[in-house]
Amino acid sequence: IPLLGMMLGNTMNGVGLAMERLTTGAWQQRKEIEGRLLLGASWREALRGLQRESLRSGMIPVLNALSAAGIVHLPGMMTGQILAGAEPVEAVKYQILIMFLIGAGTGFGALAAVLLGGRRLFDERQRLRLDRLVANPGRMRH
């Protein structure tokens, strides 16, 4: 259960960052996206760059944690195992496994969210529908 909690917590953080970047970027780049659609691009082609940027934003916290683990700070699970009397080498192996699992979970979660979220921004006729982002469409920001 603690391992699942670590994975889900980090995955939710990455998914939240990726979706925030996707929706904010769709608002900011709506004219460019609509221009690509007018030139004959599909919704996937019109949103490809923004989706890539959103996925990159969602992965930043995990990549920072991976790059700093063991050098700048000692991760909690590894430290707890060492203090409990486990062999340091075994504790490091478990921590590396957990860090890679968190990275993979965050990557897959953010990818799924960005792909599904991007699809939700368009209707069946491939029109950009930013009104779906707000609870009250009458109060849309422009």
Q: pLDDT tens, 110-132? A: 999 999 999 999 988 888 888 88
Instruction: Quote the CA–CA distance of 132 and 116 in Å, as a whole number.
Output: 13
Q: In which band, very low, low, confident or very high, does the pLDDT at 67 lie, cut at 50, 70 and 90? A: confident
Instruction: Quote the CA–CA distance of 34 and 26 in Å, as a whole number.
Output: 10
- Tell me the pTM: 0.79
Assess whether pLDDT exceeds 60 at residue 142.
Answer: no
User: Can you name the residues that pair with 73 across neighbouring β-strands?
Assistant: 69
Which residues in 7-58 belong to E strands, given as ranges? none
Entry field: residues in the chain: 142
| pLDDT, mean over the chain | 85
Bin 128: left if φ > 0, else alpha if -120 < ψ < 50, else beta. Answer: beta
Assess whether pLDDT exceeds 90 at residue 48.
Answer: yes
Query: At 51, which helix (H) or strand (E)?
Result: helix 43-68
Share of residues in the chain with pLDDT > 70 (%): 88
Contacts of 123 (CB under 8 A, 6+ apart): 129
Contact (Cβ atoms closer than 8 angstroms) between residue 25 and residue 50: yes
DSSP string, 86-139: --HHHHHHHHHHHHHHHHHHHHHHHHHHHHHHHHHTB-TT--B-GGGGSS-GGG
Q: In which band, very low, low, confident or very high, does the pLDDT at 69 lie, cut at 50, 70 and 90? A: low
